[in-house]
Amino acid sequence: MEFNRENFLAIIYYNFQRQLSQQECLAELLSVFGNEAPHQSTIFRWYGEFKRGRVSLSDDPRVGAPKMAVTQENVDAVRKLIIEDRHVTYREIETTIQKNLHEELGVRKLVSRWIPHLLTEEQKAARVNWCQKTLDREERPTKVIRSRSVSKKMVATFVSKAGHIATIPLNEQRTVAADWYTTICLPKVITELRKILHQDNAGSHTAQKTRQYLTKENVELLDHPPYSQDLSPHDFFTFPKIKNRLRGQRFRSPEEAVDAFKNAVLDLPANEWNKCFENWFESMQMCINLRGEYF
Protein backbone atom coordinates (compact mmCIF):
# COMPACT_ATOMS: atom_id res chain seq x y z
CA MET A 1 0.00 0.00 0.00
CA GLU A 2 1.37 3.40 -0.98
CA PHE A 3 0.95 6.22 1.51
CA ASN A 4 0.00 9.63 0.15
CA ARG A 5 0.43 13.02 1.74
CA GLU A 6 -2.90 12.93 3.62
CA ASN A 7 -2.03 9.52 5.08
CA PHE A 8 1.24 10.83 6.49
CA LEU A 9 -0.45 13.97 7.87
CA ALA A 10 -2.98 11.77 9.65
CA ILE A 11 -0.10 9.82 11.25
CA ILE A 12 1.62 13.07 12.27
CA TYR A 13 -1.63 14.33 13.82
CA TYR A 14 -2.09 11.00 15.62
CA ASN A 15 1.45 11.22 17.04
CA PHE A 16 0.79 14.83 18.07
CA GLN A 17 -2.31 13.69 19.97
CA ARG A 18 -0.20 10.96 21.61
CA GLN A 19 2.02 13.84 22.84
CA LEU A 20 5.08 12.53 21.06
CA SER A 21 7.72 15.17 20.39
CA GLN A 22 8.58 16.18 16.83
CA GLN A 23 11.81 14.19 17.01
CA GLU A 24 10.00 11.11 18.36
CA CYS A 25 7.43 11.39 15.58
CA LEU A 26 10.21 11.69 12.98
CA ALA A 27 12.10 8.70 14.40
CA GLU A 28 8.98 6.55 14.37
CA LEU A 29 8.16 7.43 10.76
CA LEU A 30 11.74 6.82 9.64
CA SER A 31 11.79 3.44 11.34
CA VAL A 32 8.67 2.35 9.44
CA PHE A 33 8.88 4.16 6.10
CA GLY A 34 12.58 4.92 5.72
CA ASN A 35 13.30 7.37 2.89
CA GLU A 36 9.57 7.59 2.12
CA ALA A 37 8.89 9.33 5.45
CA PRO A 38 8.05 13.06 5.47
CA HIS A 39 10.92 15.50 5.91
CA GLN A 40 11.71 16.85 9.36
CA SER A 41 10.64 20.38 8.36
CA THR A 42 7.21 19.06 7.33
CA ILE A 43 6.70 17.39 10.71
CA PHE A 44 7.85 20.49 12.62
CA ARG A 45 5.60 22.76 10.52
CA TRP A 46 2.49 20.63 11.07
CA TYR A 47 3.20 20.27 14.79
CA GLY A 48 3.23 24.06 14.91
CA GLU A 49 -0.13 24.17 13.10
CA PHE A 50 -1.67 21.63 15.48
CA LYS A 51 -0.37 23.55 18.50
CA ARG A 52 -2.15 26.63 17.17
CA GLY A 53 -5.42 24.72 17.16
CA ARG A 54 -5.60 23.45 13.60
CA VAL A 55 -7.53 20.23 13.04
CA SER A 56 -7.84 20.17 9.25
CA LEU A 57 -5.29 18.07 7.32
CA SER A 58 -5.89 19.80 3.99
CA ASP A 59 -4.00 22.86 2.76
CA ASP A 60 -5.55 26.28 3.14
CA PRO A 61 -6.67 27.94 -0.08
CA ARG A 62 -3.81 30.10 -1.27
CA VAL A 63 -4.25 33.67 -2.32
CA GLY A 64 -2.24 33.84 -5.52
CA ALA A 65 -0.05 36.81 -6.21
CA PRO A 66 -0.96 38.67 -9.39
CA LYS A 67 1.29 37.56 -12.20
CA MET A 68 2.94 39.89 -14.65
CA ALA A 69 0.89 40.15 -17.81
CA VAL A 70 2.49 38.90 -21.03
CA THR A 71 1.88 41.91 -23.26
CA GLN A 72 3.26 42.64 -26.71
CA GLU A 73 5.13 45.61 -25.26
CA ASN A 74 6.94 43.36 -22.79
CA VAL A 75 7.69 40.75 -25.45
CA ASP A 76 9.15 43.41 -27.77
CA ALA A 77 11.20 44.91 -24.92
CA VAL A 78 12.67 41.52 -24.00
CA ARG A 79 13.41 40.68 -27.65
CA LYS A 80 15.25 44.00 -28.04
CA LEU A 81 17.36 43.35 -24.96
CA ILE A 82 18.38 39.90 -26.16
CA ILE A 83 19.25 41.14 -29.66
CA GLU A 84 21.41 43.94 -28.22
CA ASP A 85 23.13 41.70 -25.68
CA ARG A 86 23.02 37.90 -25.81
CA HIS A 87 24.43 37.76 -22.26
CA VAL A 88 21.69 39.88 -20.69
CA THR A 89 20.65 38.59 -17.26
CA TYR A 90 17.19 37.64 -16.11
CA ARG A 91 17.31 40.43 -13.50
CA GLU A 92 18.00 43.03 -16.20
CA ILE A 93 15.04 41.73 -18.20
CA GLU A 94 12.82 41.84 -15.13
CA THR A 95 13.93 45.41 -14.34
CA THR A 96 13.06 46.55 -17.86
CA ILE A 97 9.58 45.02 -17.67
CA GLN A 98 8.97 46.54 -14.25
CA LYS A 99 10.04 49.92 -15.64
CA ASN A 100 7.55 49.57 -18.50
CA LEU A 101 4.78 48.74 -16.04
CA HIS A 102 5.67 51.66 -13.79
CA GLU A 103 6.33 54.39 -16.35
CA GLU A 104 3.99 53.42 -19.17
CA LEU A 105 1.04 51.95 -17.28
CA GLY A 106 1.37 53.67 -13.90
CA VAL A 107 1.33 50.35 -12.05
CA ARG A 108 2.79 50.41 -8.55
CA LYS A 109 4.35 47.51 -6.65
CA LEU A 110 2.26 46.77 -3.58
CA VAL A 111 3.27 44.46 -0.74
CA SER A 112 0.69 42.94 1.59
CA ARG A 113 1.95 42.79 5.17
CA TRP A 114 -0.41 40.03 6.20
CA ILE A 115 -3.11 37.99 4.48
CA PRO A 116 -5.49 36.88 7.24
CA HIS A 117 -6.23 33.19 7.56
CA LEU A 118 -9.88 32.26 7.02
CA LEU A 119 -11.01 31.48 10.53
CA THR A 120 -13.13 28.48 11.44
CA GLU A 121 -15.90 28.83 14.03
CA GLU A 122 -13.70 26.96 16.53
CA GLN A 123 -10.84 29.39 15.98
CA LYS A 124 -13.15 32.39 16.37
CA ALA A 125 -14.44 30.94 19.62
CA ALA A 126 -10.86 30.34 20.84
CA ARG A 127 -9.99 33.98 20.11
CA VAL A 128 -13.06 35.26 21.96
CA ASN A 129 -12.46 33.00 24.96
CA TRP A 130 -8.81 34.07 25.18
CA CYS A 131 -9.72 37.76 25.01
CA GLN A 132 -12.44 37.41 27.64
CA LYS A 133 -10.20 35.44 30.01
CA THR A 134 -7.42 37.99 29.63
CA LEU A 135 -9.71 40.97 30.24
CA ASP A 136 -11.27 39.25 33.27
CA ARG A 137 -7.93 38.68 34.99
CA GLU A 138 -7.29 40.57 38.20
CA GLU A 139 -3.77 41.25 36.99
CA ARG A 140 -3.20 41.91 33.31
CA PRO A 141 -0.05 40.97 31.37
CA THR A 142 2.58 43.67 31.24
CA LYS A 143 5.37 41.92 29.32
CA VAL A 144 5.53 40.69 25.72
CA ILE A 145 8.11 38.68 23.82
CA ARG A 146 8.56 38.09 20.12
CA SER A 147 11.47 37.03 17.90
CA ARG A 148 12.16 38.59 14.53
CA SER A 149 14.96 38.75 11.97
CA VAL A 150 16.94 41.96 11.56
CA SER A 151 19.13 42.08 8.47
CA LYS A 152 19.39 38.26 8.38
CA LYS A 153 20.02 38.16 12.14
CA MET A 154 17.39 36.64 14.41
CA VAL A 155 16.69 38.45 17.68
CA ALA A 156 14.35 37.89 20.61
CA THR A 157 12.83 41.12 21.90
CA PHE A 158 11.25 41.65 25.33
CA VAL A 159 9.18 44.75 26.08
CA SER A 160 6.80 45.89 28.82
CA LYS A 161 4.45 48.79 29.54
CA ALA A 162 7.51 50.70 30.72
CA GLY A 163 9.41 50.09 27.48
CA HIS A 164 12.22 47.92 26.16
CA ILE A 165 13.57 45.17 28.44
CA ALA A 166 16.08 43.34 26.25
CA THR A 167 16.94 42.42 22.69
CA ILE A 168 19.02 39.24 22.48
CA PRO A 169 20.55 38.22 19.13
CA LEU A 170 21.17 34.64 18.11
CA ASN A 171 24.80 33.81 17.45
CA GLU A 172 25.61 31.24 14.78
CA GLN A 173 21.98 30.11 14.62
CA ARG A 174 19.29 30.69 12.02
CA THR A 175 16.15 30.10 14.07
CA VAL A 176 15.01 30.43 17.66
CA ALA A 177 15.08 26.91 19.14
CA ALA A 178 13.90 25.79 22.58
CA ASP A 179 17.44 24.89 23.70
CA TRP A 180 18.77 28.38 22.94
CA TYR A 181 15.63 30.00 24.28
CA THR A 182 15.79 28.28 27.69
CA THR A 183 19.55 28.08 28.26
CA ILE A 184 20.77 31.39 26.82
CA CYS A 185 17.91 33.77 26.12
CA LEU A 186 15.47 33.50 29.04
CA PRO A 187 18.15 33.28 31.78
CA LYS A 188 19.36 36.75 30.75
CA VAL A 189 15.96 38.31 31.47
CA ILE A 190 14.39 35.93 33.97
CA THR A 191 14.59 38.43 36.82
CA GLU A 192 12.45 40.80 34.73
CA LEU A 193 9.76 38.18 34.05
CA ARG A 194 8.23 37.93 37.50
CA LYS A 195 4.78 38.94 36.28
CA ILE A 196 2.65 37.62 33.44
CA LEU A 197 4.56 36.79 30.26
CA HIS A 198 2.76 36.82 26.92
CA GLN A 199 4.38 35.16 23.92
CA ASP A 200 3.11 33.90 20.59
CA ASN A 201 2.81 30.30 19.35
CA ALA A 202 6.33 29.89 17.94
CA GLY A 203 7.68 26.39 18.41
CA SER A 204 10.39 27.53 20.82
CA HIS A 205 7.77 29.28 22.97
CA THR A 206 5.33 26.37 23.17
CA ALA A 207 7.92 23.60 23.55
CA GLN A 208 7.60 21.41 26.63
CA LYS A 209 11.14 22.35 27.65
CA THR A 210 10.21 26.05 27.62
CA ARG A 211 7.05 25.52 29.64
CA GLN A 212 8.93 23.45 32.21
CA TYR A 213 11.58 26.13 32.52
CA LEU A 214 9.04 28.93 33.05
CA THR A 215 7.13 26.82 35.58
CA LYS A 216 10.34 26.14 37.51
CA GLU A 217 11.11 29.87 37.54
CA ASN A 218 7.56 30.74 38.66
CA VAL A 219 6.81 32.81 35.57
CA GLU A 220 3.09 32.91 34.78
CA LEU A 221 2.58 32.31 31.07
CA LEU A 222 -0.27 33.71 29.01
CA ASP A 223 -0.97 31.56 25.96
CA HIS A 224 -1.79 33.08 22.61
CA PRO A 225 -4.87 32.17 20.49
CA PRO A 226 -4.26 30.68 17.03
CA TYR A 227 -4.03 32.91 13.94
CA SER A 228 -4.06 36.15 15.92
CA GLN A 229 -1.46 38.60 14.70
CA ASP A 230 -4.06 41.32 15.23
CA LEU A 231 -3.85 40.52 18.95
CA SER A 232 -0.04 40.59 19.17
CA PRO A 233 1.43 43.94 20.32
CA HIS A 234 4.70 43.23 18.53
CA ASP A 235 2.86 42.77 15.23
CA PHE A 236 0.60 45.82 15.40
CA PHE A 237 2.99 48.14 17.27
CA THR A 238 6.64 47.25 17.97
CA PHE A 239 7.88 45.93 14.65
CA PRO A 240 5.92 48.36 12.39
CA LYS A 241 7.30 51.25 14.47
CA ILE A 242 10.88 50.02 14.27
CA LYS A 243 10.66 49.19 10.56
CA ASN A 244 9.49 52.74 9.83
CA ARG A 245 12.38 54.20 11.83
CA LEU A 246 14.99 52.02 10.09
CA ARG A 247 13.52 52.21 6.60
CA GLY A 248 16.08 53.09 3.94
CA GLN A 249 19.13 52.61 6.18
CA ARG A 250 21.98 50.30 5.22
CA PHE A 251 24.20 48.40 7.65
CA ARG A 252 27.68 47.01 7.21
CA SER A 253 27.02 43.93 9.34
CA PRO A 254 24.17 42.05 11.06
CA GLU A 255 25.59 43.20 14.40
CA GLU A 256 25.30 46.85 13.34
CA ALA A 257 21.69 46.21 12.30
CA VAL A 258 20.90 44.69 15.70
CA ASP A 259 22.43 47.71 17.48
CA ALA A 260 20.32 50.05 15.33
CA PHE A 261 17.26 47.96 16.15
CA LYS A 262 17.96 48.24 19.89
CA ASN A 263 18.52 52.00 19.68
CA ALA A 264 15.29 52.47 17.73
CA VAL A 265 13.35 50.54 20.38
CA LEU A 266 14.98 52.52 23.20
CA ASP A 267 14.11 55.80 21.47
CA LEU A 268 10.38 55.09 21.70
CA PRO A 269 8.98 57.21 24.57
CA ALA A 270 7.42 55.52 27.59
CA ASN A 271 3.95 56.94 26.90
CA GLU A 272 3.88 55.13 23.54
CA TRP A 273 4.53 51.77 25.23
CA ASN A 274 1.78 52.46 27.73
CA LYS A 275 -0.58 53.38 24.88
CA CYS A 276 0.43 50.17 23.08
CA PHE A 277 -0.81 48.07 25.96
CA GLU A 278 -4.01 50.11 26.24
CA ASN A 279 -4.65 49.50 22.54
CA TRP A 280 -3.97 45.81 23.09
CA PHE A 281 -6.79 45.48 25.61
CA GLU A 282 -9.07 47.57 23.40
CA SER A 283 -8.28 45.14 20.58
CA MET A 284 -9.34 42.24 22.78
CA GLN A 285 -12.69 43.90 23.43
CA MET A 286 -13.09 44.57 19.72
CA CYS A 287 -12.42 40.90 18.97
CA ILE A 288 -15.14 39.94 21.47
CA ASN A 289 -17.59 42.44 19.95
CA LEU A 290 -16.93 41.02 16.48
CA ARG A 291 -17.34 37.43 17.75
CA GLY A 292 -13.79 36.45 16.92
CA GLU A 293 -13.59 37.92 13.43
CA TYR A 294 -10.46 39.77 12.31
CA PHE A 295 -10.57 43.54 12.55
Higher pLDDT, residue 27 or 203: 27
Q: What angle do CA 246, 230, 237 make, to 5 degrees?
A: 30
Per CATH, the number for 121-289 is 3.30.420.10
Q: What angle do CA 151, 211, 37 make, to 5 degrees?
A: 70
Average pLDDT over residues 193-221: 82
Q: What is the pLDDT of residues 139-187, one digit of tens each?
A: 777 667 655 545 456 788 888 888 888 888 877 656 677 888 888 888 8
Q: 189 pLDDT exceeds 80?
A: yes
User: Is the pTM of the predicted complex or chain greater than 0.85?
Assistant: no
Q: What is the pLDDT of residues 74-133, one digit of tens each?
A: 566 666 766 666 565 555 655 666 666 555 555 454 444 455 556 788 888 888 998 998
Q: What is the pLDDT of residues 267-289, one digit of tens each?
A: 888 888 888 888 888 999 999 99
Q: 69 pLDDT exceeds 70?
A: no
C-alpha 243/C-alpha 235 separation (Å) is 11
CB 147 within 8 A of CB 176: yes
Q: Would you list the domain boundaries of the chain?
A: 5-51, 66-117, 121-289
**Cα distance between the two ends of the chain:** 47
C-alpha 147/C-alpha 175 separation (Å) is 9
CB 36 within 8 A of CB 2: no
Q: What angle do CA 80, 66, 149 make, to 5 degrees?
A: 100
Q: What is the pLDDT of residues 5-29, one digit of tens each?
A: 788 888 888 888 888 888 888 888 8
Number of continuous H segments (helices) and E segments (strands) in the chain: 14, 5
In the prediction, which pLDDT does 103 show? 56
CB 264 within 8 A of CB 251: no
In the prediction, which pLDDT does 285 show? 92
In the prediction, which pLDDT does 63 show? 41
In the prediction, which pLDDT does 92 show? 61
CATH of 5-51, one of 1.10.10.60, 3.30.70.980, 3.40.1370.10, 1.10.10.1450: 1.10.10.1450
Q: 262 pLDDT exceeds 80?
A: yes
Q: What is the pLDDT of residues 51-68, one digit of tens each?
A: 888 877 765 544 444 444
